[in-house]
Amino acid sequence: MQYSVIVPTSSFMTVITPGVDFLAKGTFILSFPVVIVYAVGLVSEQFGGTSISAWTTVSTGLITVPILTTAWISLTRLRHRQEAAALGAKMVPCARGKWPENVDVLKTLLHGFAYGYPGVYTLKHE
């Protein structure tokens, strides 16, 4: 006995998975400065006769990622501190590294997980 499934085409809804949605938003945000530099280059070429070189556009794209990430994290931390102060609360202590975004703390943790015993390494927190 064979079963056939009839699905009406008008009831289909486009479903976008969370990963694709996240990547699409990130791509838009990170490509925005590059598009601005490219548009300024086109306008300056049309009206001023000078163009923006390709290496400037590429370097803008490469520099955008760490700058926007650092700004986003800093603003989020500032907002959390302000909300905690408004409620009279204290912030949870966090690990404080010497490298940007605690990369050295991550390196220490990964080394400890790979080669040490659990909980042997210590981290200093603020």
What does each C-alpha distance from 41 to 33, 44, 67, 113, 126 come to in angstroms? 12, 5, 22, 49, 45
**Mean pLDDT within 71-91:** 93
Q: Cα–Cα distance between 82 and 103 in angstroms, integer?
A: 25
Q: What is the model's pLDDT at position 121?
A: 66
* Percent of the chain whose pLDDT exceeds 70: 82
Q: Which residue has the higher pLDDT, 108 or 84?
A: 84
Long-range contacts (CB closer than 8 Å, 24 or more residues apart) made by 64-68: 64/30, 64/33, 64/34, 65/30, 68/29, 68/30
Identity at 26, one-letter amino acid code: G
pLDDT in tens, 38-70: 888 888 888 877 777 888 878 887 888 788 888
**53 token code pair:** 């070189």
Instruction: Check residues 17 and 8 and name the one with the higher pLDDT.
Output: 17
